[in-house]
């Protein structure tokens, strides 16, 4: 730029010719003329070249799909770049560094006008203290998208933590989750900070005095820890666990784990928590595993016997041979009507005992995991934009089998079939109904999209095919008459010569 300014100065102020400027600056006369006579310097402003990342190019569309589909989820469940890097490296053979992926994700989020997540302030605490809070996320439970709760513990000193998935946030689930956290930690924290959750606090007095649940008080005495509670509505007073709840959701529960029982899922999450210690502390720079060893030294020893979080309730056998416990009915065919039954309630099961406390039957507790509908229209809008990365979407494999088979049956027309399914979704047909139509089309070997549309209209119509007309006024001879079309051939003109020419001539006449 200084040389260009000098050329302009020589031409305008010193009034040198183009040849003289060329000789003085030692440049080609065409270059001298270009800058000396230039009147619009906007033309010379070149856009900044985007940095090429060859290692990212094969995976760019997959990452774009992840970024876009995360916007269909609650903010709490969106994956950070670190989780995306681990997933790409483990499942797709990505060889680039985490820094490369982080830079790409940051750049793409800006281009896609996706705001950055807010940062929170981490607080310093001595070793041996923990903060506890509940969170909520989703898992693939027996092939269905379901909502579950999880109890998270955050140790601010080491930044370590554990998470226990649970079916609810009642008192028994809460105490059972705490017990597992103590066992995972290898000891009991000296001080624990909680919200004023109903599983522990019954009421709060005017002076802040809390009336605690009896089960929680016995649990405290058994494990000998000190409980602290935040001021009402001040969840930020335990900011470490607020962050840890979000961190575990984004890094341990994404991509969505598949589960069929809580025990297996708990073991998987415990393993992820241990692996997570193999990283530097965000502020201290020391390996978290080293700090965790110091943390464990400050913990109280576990008691010789674990606490059993159970409740006892009295009930009676009704005239149908059933007992009712917490709005759920359990059948006892061998019990007498009116017999007194003691129900021993655990977080996951109910034991029914007789008057001698002999177990009559054991039933699993009935928890209804809330299903989470998948926004397939939103996902297919992304698939149509990024077809190469569609198969790597977190939820692509959970499409109904008939839809998956339709998409994958013809690789050459994969993009067109994505657009076709998206068009059906835009007409507000559900993905299950579309699967039903595509299954019917496959069975009848229908491939043409127009015929599939016709089949869809036929199956979606509330009215069935019209009934046959019952016409009674025509004579029977007319009703049963079958026309013989070949009779009309006699009306064709005939020629003596015959042959092709004669036929044409006859037709002309």
64 has a pLDDT exceeding 90: no
DSSP, collapsed to helix, strand or coil, labels residue 332 as: coil
Domain borders along the chain are 2-44, 57-111, 129-297, 311-364, 376-460
Residue 45: pLDDT band by 50, 70, 90 thresholds?
Answer: very low
Residue 294: pLDDT band by 50, 70, 90 thresholds?
Answer: very high
Q: What's the CA gap between 214 and 124, in Å, rounded? A: 32
More confident site: 209 or 158: 158
Percent of the chain, pLDDT > 90?
30
Q: What's the CA gap between 129 and 471, in Å, rounded? A: 89
Give yes or no on whether 129-297 and 311-364 have one common fold: no
**Kind and range of the H or E run holding 436:** helix 431-443
pLDDT single digits (tens) 68-120: 888 877 777 788 888 888 888 888 888 888 888 888 888 888 777 654 444 44
40 has a pLDDT exceeding 70: no
**Integer angstrom CA distances of residue 180 from 242, 305, 335:** 20, 13, 36
Q: What is the CATH T-level fold of the domain 129-297, as seen in this structure? A: Nucleotidyltransferase; domain 5 (3.30.420)
Average pLDDT over residues 241-259: 88
pTM of the model: 0.60
148 has a pLDDT exceeding 60: yes
**Integer angstrom CA distances of residue 284 from 238, 247, 280, 281, 288:** 20, 18, 8, 5, 9
pLDDT for the residue numbered 205: 80
Q: Are 157 and 125 in contact (CB under 8 A)?
A: yes
Most confident of 46-50, 189-193, 487-491: 189-193
More confident site: 91 or 271: 271
Tokens of 14: 């010193």
Query: For residues 308, 309, 313 and 318, what is the CA-based torsion angle, rounded to 10 degrees?
Result: -90
494 has a pLDDT exceeding 60: yes
pLDDT for the residue numbered 175: 95
467 has a pLDDT exceeding 70: no
For the domain bounded by 311-364, which CATH number is listed?
A: 2.40.50
Average pLDDT over residues 358-369: 82
Burial 98-121 (b: 16+ CB within 10 A, else e): eebbebbbeebbeeeebeeeeeee
Own/partner pairs, 447-454, CB within 8 angstroms, 24+ separation: 449/420, 452/420
Residue 129: pLDDT band by 50, 70, 90 thresholds?
Answer: very high
Sequence-ordered list of residues with C-beta below 8 angstroms from that of 306, at least 6 positions apart, any chain? 179, 183
Average pLDDT over residues 190-205: 89
Tokens of 73: 């989820």
Q: Are 150 and 157 in contact (CB under 8 A)?
A: no
343 has a pLDDT exceeding 70: yes
């Amino acid at each position: 730029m200084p040389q260009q300014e000098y050329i302009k100065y020589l031409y305008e102020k010193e009034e040198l010719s183009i040849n003289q400027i060329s000789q003085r600056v030692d440049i080609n006369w065409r270059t001298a003329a270009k800058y000396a006579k230039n009147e619009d310097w906007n033309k010379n402003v070149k856009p900044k070249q985007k940095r090429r990342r060859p290692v990212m190019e094969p995976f760019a569309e997959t990452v774009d799909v992840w970024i876009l589909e995360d916007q269909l989820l609650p903010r709490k469940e969106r994956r950070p770049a670190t989780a995306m890097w681990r997933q790409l490296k483990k499942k797709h053979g990505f060889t680039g560094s985490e820094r490369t992926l982080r830079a790409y994700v940051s750049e793409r989020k800006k281009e896609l006008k996706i705001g950055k997540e807010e940062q929170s302030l981490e607080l310093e605490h001595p070793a041996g203290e923990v903060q506890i809070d509940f969170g909520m996320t989703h898992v693939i439970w027996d092939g269905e998208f379901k909502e579950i709760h999880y109890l998270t513990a955050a140790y601010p000193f080491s930044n370590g933590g554990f998470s226990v998935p649970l079916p609810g946030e009642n008192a028994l689930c809460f105490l059972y989750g705490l017990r597992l956290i103590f066992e995972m930690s290898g000891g009991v924290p000296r001080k624990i900070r909680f919200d004023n959750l109903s599983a522990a606090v019954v009421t709060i007095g005017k002076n802040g005095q809390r009336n605690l649940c009896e089960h929680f008080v016995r649990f405290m005495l058994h494990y000998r820890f000190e409980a602290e509670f935040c001021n009402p509505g001040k969840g930020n007073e335990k900011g470490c666990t607020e962050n840890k709840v979000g961190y575990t959701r984004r890094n341990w529960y994404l991509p969505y784990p598949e589960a069929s029982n809580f025990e297996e899922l708990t073991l998987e999450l415990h393993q992820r928590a241990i692996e997570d210690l193999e990283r530097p502390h965000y502020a201290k720079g020391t390996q978290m595993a080293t700090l965790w060893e110091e943390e464990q030294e400050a913990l109280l020893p576990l008691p010789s016997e674990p606490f059993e979080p159970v409740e006892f309730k009295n009930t009676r056998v009704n005239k149908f041979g059933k007992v009712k416990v917490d709005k759920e009915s359990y059948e006892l065919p061998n019990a007498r009507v009116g017999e007194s039954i003691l129900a021993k309630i655990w977080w996951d099961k109910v034991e029914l005992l007789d008057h001698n406390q002999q177990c009559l039957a054991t039933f699993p507790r009935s928890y209804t995991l809330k299903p989470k509908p998948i926004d397939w229209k939103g996902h297919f809008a992304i698939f149509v934009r990024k077809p190469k990365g569609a198969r790597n979407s977190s939820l692509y494999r959970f499409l109904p089998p008939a839809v998956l088979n339709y998409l994958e049956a013809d690789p050459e027309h994969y993009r067109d079939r994505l657009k076709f399914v998206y068009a059906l979704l835009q007409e507000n047909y559900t993905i299950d109904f579309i699967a039903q139509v595509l299954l019917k089309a496959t069975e009848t070997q229908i491939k043409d999209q127009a015929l599939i549309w016709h089949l869809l209209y036929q199956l979606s119509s509330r009215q069935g095919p019209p009934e046959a007309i019952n016409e009674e006024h025509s004579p029977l001879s007319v009703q049963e008459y079958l026309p013989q079309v070949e009779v009309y051939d006699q009306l064709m003109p005939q020629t003596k010569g015959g042959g092709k020419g004669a036929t044409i001539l006859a037709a002309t006449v």
